[in-house]
Amino acid sequence: MERFDIKAVSEKTKKFYSETHWHGSMLDFLREKFPSNPRKYSRTSYQYLADMIEFFGKHTFEESGEKLTRYHLFDDPFSDGKSRIFGLDRTIARLMKYIKAAAREEGRERIYVLNGPVGTAKTSMIELISRGLEEYSKTEEGEILSFRWIFPADFDKLGQSQVGFHAETREFTDDDIAVSLKSQMRENPLLVIPREMRKEFLRGAFRDTEDPEEHAIIPTKILEGQLNYNDQQILDYLLEKFDGDFEEVCKFIRVERFTISATLGVGIAKVLPEGNIEAQAPMIAMDDNWRAITNLMRSLNLVRFSGHYVSSNRGILHYSDIFKRPIITLHHLLSAVEEHMVCFGEIQTSVDTIIIGTTNIAEYIEVRRAPISKALRSRTRKIDVPYLLNFTDEQQIYERGLLPAMARVHIAPHTTELAALWAVLTRLMKSRMDDSGDLEQDARKLIAGLTPLDKAMIYADRHAEHFSEADRLLLDRKVRKLLRNEFQDEGTGGVPTRILQNILADLCEDEFSRCVMPFDVFKLVDRVLESGPETYDFLAVTPDEGYHDFVSFLKLIRGRYDDILTREIQDAVLDVTTEEIDDKIKRYFQHVNAFNQNEKVRNQQTGKSEDPDEKVMRVVEDAMGVLQDLQARKDFRFRLISRALRHASKKGEEFDYRKVYADLYSAMYRSLYREKRDRISWGNLHSELDEAETEEKLAGMDIDKKVRGVIDTLFANLKNQGYNFESARLVIMYSISRELHKR
């Protein structure tokens, strides 16, 4: 057993501590550290947050014809993606736009409210932002500084002509320091510089920076801001004591790095709906922790700031369910965002914090009805957080939630996919762009006829199988982008994600369940629908030309599952690769081309030139249902070659047999399957599988050699597609029953 290397751990913790607990003199900060990177050390909370999100990286991608940015912070790089945010890139981009604008001071700061139905990851987004701030503050790029006051034991004896420091050093040694007091609000050290001198100093530092972009924005909060009540009193006292000698005052200031921590209430605060203490400032003269400093400076009346504004200063203040509180109790937010000031009892002080709240749709609607809320709402940026509309994103949420159960329970292929598709179908709205002047007539007609399934496929960057090539060309980037952004509130209704998550969790928690199938999901969704709007509010929506028809959507995905299983069983039975069909079709075209050109075909085996082989051509043509008449065959062959020529005339496109002749591939596939299907005794196969409840029992059964061969092929191919024995057995038996019923 490998021993725990405590020495290695100790070295790492010491290194981490030294890197994240830097401290130095105020003079060194002003003369060396700050000039090396003025922007870094003068960032406001908005600039810091924007930099943090960018720090974790990003990439661009396209969805529904729109170029989107994916910020990697929301992939949860801290916990291996356990809290990853799926499919909300548009929402996150909107939040980032507001934060960046405030960071550039292009508009007023606002209260950001994430508004959406329950279970849309609003809180998870803010928690990832909080975690990002914590981790970023530990990096070199995320270094963030404040300061503390330090005094020697004989401070009260120092006179105007006395320096009071050891001659050999410019700052106190630790032995000299008798009193040490942190800036309670974790103020930026730059605020210690008197305002007029500070402006001149900052402008010079930004002007002299090497990067021409760095001096573009000097934060107003740093240019115009001032220290809080306690720090300002101490500063004024020292300036008076030393006749305004700022350099002398700096010797009583130690600049130090701090790291953001939600647990310790440093740079992050969360206010729950029942919480009501945002700011307090009781007198602390009798507090033992502060007694020493009030003894040194007897004319001062210091207060202890406390509350969420203190914890969140230079970071974020998160209001959970912000509008569950009485509106009157939120009015302090107005001065916090407009004037950056908060009243601590009788004392006002400046704050630098980003206020982010969450709410649900019903609460927001209720707030809008309250006249007293108008001022608050005018200073609010509402950011809608809908349910997902791309079922592949929704599917990933379900699969992440099922990871712990997968060690015990097998989740059959298509289970989460079909559950996600049904959920998304319930959230879609019928397009009203049939009279839009932004679209051509053919595009308007196509969009007007979109079914919910068609729309769901488009939102997932897929095409409905029935779409022609012309339909697909009409759905270009512009059309898909207009369609995706037509309704601001699309996705705010429909089935909540949590309902499907709960259904899947219930199926996995069944102690007798070893395998979860789409059939199981269908049954539980049926129960949800039977419960009616009395139990589930989303069921109260009136159907709209095929949309919001939840029962028909369930029938639709049942039918879709039947189609999927038909194709999978065909694949498993046929055991033919696409390359084999490729060879047949390419050989067919070789003979057809020779037939149309009245040329010979070279025999690959003999090397001799021969007439085009009618048998080779009839295999494909019979599969396509071409009449036996020779003229019909000639016309068919001519049209196929013409199709290839039309496609080849398109510049910059590589010729793709499977795309151009998808109908031939499908027909060949069906033909080969029918040939093999008709030679299988499906009734016997079903009977054998009905008896073989386990893989071991099947292996020991005395089964006809041909039937055994089909069974082995089916199971081997289905296992390659993600099925285990139990789920494969169920879908094979289900598909056989459907096949026999058709006959």
What does the pLDDT look like over 565-591, one tens digit per residue? 988 888 887 766 677 777 888 888 889
Q: What pLDDT, on a 0 to 100 scale, did the predictor assign at position 278?
A: 60
Q: What pLDDT, on a 0 to 100 scale, did the predictor assign at position 198?
A: 94
Q: How far, in whole angstroms, is CA 509 from its chain's centroid?
A: 27
Other C-beta atoms lying within 10 Å of the C-beta of residue 612 = 20
Q: Is the pLDDT of residue 73 over 90?
A: yes
Q: What pLDDT, on a 0 to 100 scale, did the predictor assign at position 286?
A: 43
Question: Mean pLDDT across the stretch 145-150?
Answer: 95
Dihedral sign for Cα 90, 93, 99, 101, please: negative
Give the whole-angstrom CA distance, residue 249 versus residue 43. Answer: 24
More confident residue, 317 or 408: 317
pLDDT digits (tens, 9 = 90+) for 659-692: 777 778 778 777 777 777 777 788 888 899 999 8
CA proximity to 227, closest of 305, 163, 315, 296: 305
More confident residue, 417 or 346: 417
Q: What pLDDT, on a 0 to 100 scale, did the predictor assign at position 283?
A: 47
Question: Mean pLDDT across the stretch 42-64?
Answer: 96
Q: What percent of the chain has pLDDT over 70?
A: 90
Long-range contacts of the stretch 289-294 (C-beta < 8 A, 24+): 290/181, 292/178, 292/179, 293/149, 293/151, 293/179, 293/181, 293/234
What average pLDDT does the chain have? 87
pLDDT digits (tens, 9 = 90+) for 517-557: 999 999 999 999 999 999 999 999 999 899 999 999 999 99
Q: Is the pLDDT of residue 392 over 60?
A: yes
| Secondary structure of residue 235 in the 3-state scheme | helix
Which of 138-147, 166-175, 621-630: highest mean pLDDT? Answer: 138-147
| pTM given for the model | 0.84
Q: What pLDDT, on a 0 to 100 scale, did the predictor assign at position 122?
A: 96
Q: What pLDDT, on a 0 to 100 scale, did the predictor assign at position 361?
A: 87
Question: Mean pLDDT across the stretch 195-213?
Answer: 82
pLDDT digits (tens, 9 = 90+) for 258-304: 999 999 999 999 998 876 556 555 544 445 456 667 666 767 788 88
Q: What pLDDT, on a 0 to 100 scale, did the predictor assign at position 576?
A: 65
Question: In the structure encoding, which two tokens stand for residue 230, read together?
Answer: 């306690």
Question: Mean pLDDT across the stretch 692-709?
Answer: 89
Q: What percent of the chain has pLDDT over 90?
A: 52
Q: What pLDDT, on a 0 to 100 scale, did the predictor assign at position 279?
A: 57
Least confident of 134-143, 527-536, 606-615: 606-615
Give the whole-angstrom CA distance, residue 71 versus residue 85. Answer: 10
Q: What pLDDT, on a 0 to 100 scale, did the predictor assign at position 667?
A: 80
Q: What pLDDT, on a 0 to 100 scale, did the predictor assign at position 183?
A: 94
More confident residue, 246 or 4: 246
Q: What pLDDT, on a 0 to 100 scale, did the predictor assign at position 306?
A: 86
Q: How far, in whole angstroms, is CA 307 from its chain's centroid?
A: 32
Q: What pLDDT, on a 0 to 100 scale, did the predictor assign at position 52?
A: 98
Cβ atoms of 84 and 124 closer than 8 Å? no
Least confident of 204-208, 290-294, 511-515: 290-294
Q: What pLDDT, on a 0 to 100 scale, did the predictor assign at position 555?
A: 96
Q: Is the pLDDT of residue 222 over 80?
A: yes
Q: What pLDDT, on a 0 to 100 scale, did the predictor assign at position 540?
A: 92
